[in-house]
Amino acid sequence: QTVVTQEPSLTVSPGGTVTLTCASSTGAVTSDYYPNWFQQKPGQAPRALIYSTINKHSRTPARFSGSLLGGKAALTLSGVQPEDEADYYCALYYGGPWVFGGGTKLTVL
């Protein structure tokens, strides 16, 4: 069974920079996995941030960016705001089904 792994939790100070990563049990993540990133706040539906590794949706703030880093997909937040405190999920494509990571709980403190 394919497993996608994210950091369970991260803490960042307001104004700081943090990178969340997304690894695949099948090996290095490449653009062929079309990494997507989502933000979810309590009681809300997920909100799409990044698709196909680096592309932002129209409402995605400029401080969010996607990349590939060391064989993983990565989401970097630069100049973190208090409202960025949320759960973040990545999703990878495996030729039909998608697999979500377990999520990263980001605390802004």
Partner 1 sequence: QLQLQESGPGLVKPSETLSLACTVSGVSLTSSNSYWAWIRQPPGKGLEHIGTISYTGTTYYRPSLKSRATISLDTSRNQFTLKLNSVTAADTAVYYCAYGLPGGQWTDYWGQGTLVTVSS
Interactions with partner 1, residue window 6-45 (CB under 8 A): 33-36, 38, 40, 45
Residue 51 or 65 with smaller CB distance to partner 1:
51
In angstroms, the CA 74 to CA 28 distance is 12
Cβ contact 8:63 at 8 Å = no
Q: Tell me: does residue 55 bind partner 1 (CB under 8 A).
A: yes
In angstroms, the CA 101 to CA 109 distance is 24
Chain residues that interact with partner 1, rule: CB under 8 A: 1, 33-36, 38, 40, 45-48, 51-52, 55, 57-59, 89, 91, 93, 96-103
